[in-house]
Amino acid sequence: MRPTELDPFFAPVTTLPGIGPKLASLFDTLTGRAPEPARLIDLLLHLPIDLVDRALSPSIVAAPTEGIVTLKVTVEAHKPAPPGRASAPHRVIVGDETGDVTLVFFRLPKAQLEQMLPLGATRVISGKMELFDGMRQMVHPDRILPPAKFEESETLEPLYPLTEGLTHRRVNLAAASALERLRALPEWQDASLLARQKWPGFVEALADLHRPQDKADFGAESVAYRRLAYDELLAGQLALQLVRAEQRGPRGRALVGDGRLRAKILAALPFTPTGAQTRALGEIEKDLAAPERMLRLLQGDVGAGKTLVALLAMAIAVEAGAQAAMMAPTDILARQHFLRIAPLAEAAGMRVGLLTGRAGAAERNGMLDKLAAGEIDIAIGTHALFQDSVVFKNLALAVVDEQHRFGVEQRLALARKGDLVDLLVMTATPIPRTLVLSYFGDLDVSVLDEKPPGRKPVDTRLVNQERIGEIVAGIGRAITTGARVYWVCPLVGESEKLDLAAAEERFADLDKHFPGKVGLVHGKMAGAEKDAAIRRFAAGEIAILVATTVIEVGMDVPEASIMVIEEAQRFGLAQLHQLRGRVGRGAEKSNAILLYRGPLSETARARLEILRQSEDGFRIAEEDLRLRGEGDVLGTRQSGMPGFRIARLDLHQDLLKMARDDAVLAMSRDADLVSPRGKALRMLLYLFGRDEAIRLMKAG
């Protein structure tokens, strides 16, 4: 039950004066709550992003001639629009002893303007000043007030991210009304931390940002903003610690293998595992042998060899007499894993099965029977693996690939398929350290930071889209020597339909140049069609595979040596790096061509240059975070993972480390959050919406 002290924070915005159903729906959209109703806490955590200073200028002549200006003036003359010319403006001349300004109004009734600005009256006006024919003018001033109503204390006006139909002033008035209804809450932050950082209380910090009295009160580096950013980070870290405690809570079971299956797998390999692979496997082996459940993230750069580590980990479970499962986010990736893993596993005497949503009824039922009977040692599949009808005889290890594409709920669902299942989650997207802490703080981390021997560097070039004819001609020459080419089509926008149209258009164009040698793969194709195109490409029956980003992960065709990415400036750096990782896997020298549509901005060119200069996925990911923010780097915009509303990881990394340490300490002292501080921390979790994740976790 939510504490009653929080009720005012969770009251709907419709309880505020002047907000009826029409405005309420706009606030629902603004705060990201639609179709749920916005609450006061949602409104108050929608922080302003800039300030307009409406401080009074001493005189007209001393005021700047552009930008927002506030003046105390006398109304000197009205120049209404001529009769019959409704579209012409009504001009009002106002001045002081140093000069004058023309106020310009379109389509406002003459009587209304004369009432607002009576001749000879003194008014305070504020708006955007500009020069027109050498004269100062202000079109539709933002404020026209009698001097008595102008308060010097309210000259700093916050500006907000808006939705159509709402103004900055309307949002600010609503926030001010909301603040009046709140009272101070029990403090959840440590008193010495507050004193050291000079942080205000939670409600006071909100007031400082929505009603700033001084420019120093404002901005992401201000004490008020940092206080709220820390609150949000602490709520996130505390939720992750609670998830970890719940997951680890029941004692696990020790999985200790005798090494016989791993020895056979290693003997079948044409290479020796890297030091990083050996180190990661050692960490996993230690986790599996411990009585607590394993919760580990395995992250590695493109081609670092995560699949082999996962297979050897699953072999430990099978050696210990149990089953293992590997879940991938797409059918293509699940099948790629199956094709890679099955030969090695079967050479070691393990039985491997594949289960995806595309399996026919007979195939699916046969697989389900074998899983339940324990006749499958390793199951590989998509989300089909955690459906209710899937029953394992003895699942002990769940491996989840491309973890950030699954919600927490899906990852927990697979872990619930057995008794005290150990969990290994993997990602081929190098994740910056700050994001690992933010999103995967419930997991221990192993990093594969070496590439297997034989992986050749990829020559990466930036080429203007205008030279596409030369690229097509070059590809024509390359495929005559047996080269194979990926051609990735642009992200057109939010619409998958438009992305698909771009891919079909490029396929048609290339097919004219190279008839019968071009294939097409996109997310909307039937599974069998997709498989057929990939199979033909892998077999060399077609030389060019035109694709959307569906090939970003999992495609493994060593003979592919050329990657063309159209309109590369539209992609994130981490995604470009992933796509580039599809080549450079075989003996041939490989090339990546980043086609861009000019002119590129300085920032866009700098982004693409990083790709040209570096193949270090971790460095590229850090740059991507700096340039685009955590939501895009992790794909959280698409996956529904919680992003941050306030904290900015480019500015608040110091706070994240503090929040992590604080959450661990709080849980070690009061795991059930029942002490006075623990109860206050529960309020923090509710305020930042982390109660839902905890409820979900506890339900499991």
Q: What is the pLDDT of residues 481-519, one digit of tens each?
A: 999 999 998 865 555 666 677 888 999 999 999 999 999
pLDDT at 698: 47
Reduced to 3 states (helix: H, G, I; strand: E, B; else coil), residue 275 is helix
Edge-to-edge strand list for the sheet holding 295-300: 352-355, 378-381, 323-327, 395-400, 422-427, 295-300, 444-448
Q: When comparing pLDDT for 325 and 556, which is higher?
A: 325
pTM greater than the 0.75 cutoff: no
Q: In 117-164, which ranges are continuous DSSP H helix?
A: none
- Whose tokens are 């000879």? That residue is 120
Which percentage of the chain shows pLDDT scores above 70? 91
Token pair belonging to 381? 């599949």
**At residue 76, does pLDDT exceed 50?**
yes
Helices 223-248 and 676-687 cross at an angle (nearest 10°) of: 100
Which percentage of the chain shows pLDDT scores above 90? 58
pLDDT tens digits, 576-603: 888 898 898 887 899 999 999 888 888 8
Q: What is the per-residue DSSP string for 566-610?
A: TTGGGS-HHHHHHHHTTSS-SSS-EEEEEEE-SSPPHHHHHHHHH
Q: For 393-418, b where at least 16 C-beta lie within 10 A, e where not — what string?
A: eebbbbbbbbbbbbebebbbbbbebb
Token pair belonging to 91? 């001009």
Please state the rounded mean pLDDT for residues 677-693: 87
Contact 503, 580 (CB under 8 A): no
**At residue 193, does pLDDT exceed 90?**
yes
CA distances from 362 to 351, 353, 354, 367, 375 (A): 19, 14, 13, 9, 17
Band the pLDDT of 415: cuts 50, 70, 90.
Answer: low
In words, the CATH class of domain 458-614 is: alpha beta
Element spanning 378, H or E: strand 378-381
SS (H, E, C) 224-258: HHHHHHHHHHHHHHHHHHHHHHHHHCCCCCCCCCC
CA 678 to chain centre: 30
Please state the rounded mean pLDDT for residues 439-459: 80
Residue 244: closest CA among 3, 1, 448, 445: 445
Mention every residue, 6+ apart, whose C-beta is less than 8 A from residue 364.
Answer: 355
SS (H, E, C) 382-447: CHHHHCCCCCCCCEEEEEECCHHHCCHHHHHHHHCCCCCCEEEEEECCCCCHHHHHHHCCCCEEEE
Band the pLDDT of 696: cuts 50, 70, 90.
Answer: very low
Please state the rounded mean pLDDT for residues 606-631: 80
Fold equal for 55-154 and 260-448: no
> What is the second-level CATH architecture of the domain 55-154?
Beta Barrel (2.40)
Token pair belonging to 299? 């992250």
pLDDT at 163: 93
Band the pLDDT of 700: cuts 50, 70, 90.
Answer: very low
Token pair belonging to 15? 């309880």
* Range with the largest mean pLDDT of 309-318, 336-345, 657-666: 309-318
Please state the rounded mean pLDDT for residues 342-350: 95
- Whose tokens are 């793969």? That residue is 521
Quote the CA–CA distance of 381 and 402 in Å, as a whole number.
Answer: 13
pLDDT at 636: 43
CATH number for the region 260-448 comes to: 3.40.50.300
DSSP E strands: which ranges in 505-559? 518-521, 544-547
Q: In 102-190, which ranges are continuous DSSP H helix?
A: 110-116, 168-180
pLDDT at 430: 76
Domain range list for the chain:
4-52+162-199, 55-154, 260-448, 458-614
Contact 70, 57 (CB under 8 A): yes
CA 498 to chain centre: 22
**At residue 271, does pLDDT exceed 70?**
yes
pLDDT at 140: 96
Sign of the CA dihedral with 409 first, then 414, 416, and 419 last: negative
Token pair belonging to 25? 């729906």
The bridge status of strand 590-596 relative to strand 560-565 is parallel
pLDDT at 252: 67
Contact 256, 318 (CB under 8 A): no
Band the pLDDT of 552: cuts 50, 70, 90.
Answer: low
pLDDT at 61: 96
Name 593's bridge partners: 461, 564
Quote the CA–CA distance of 170 and 178 in Å, as a whole number.
Answer: 12
Band the pLDDT of 360: cuts 50, 70, 90.
Answer: confident
pLDDT at 699: 41
Q: Residue 454 — left, alpha, or beta (φ > 0 → left; ψ -120 to 50 → alpha)?
A: left
* Range with the largest mean pLDDT of 264-278, 434-448, 541-555: 264-278
pLDDT at 403: 58
Band the pLDDT of 250: cuts 50, 70, 90.
Answer: low
Please state the rounded mean pLDDT for residues 22-26: 95
**At residue 313, does pLDDT exceed 70?**
yes
pLDDT at 495: 55
* Range with the largest mean pLDDT of 193-207, 498-512, 529-543: 193-207
pLDDT tens digits, 649-684: 778 888 998 999 999 999 999 988 889 999 999 999
Residue 617 one-letter amino acid: G
**At residue 401, does pLDDT exceed 80?**
yes
pLDDT tens digits, 100-145: 999 999 999 999 999 999 999 999 999 999 999 999 999 999 999 9
Phi, psi (rounded to 5 degrees) for 302: -55, 130
Mean per-residue pLDDT of the chain: 88
Contact 322, 395 (CB under 8 A): yes
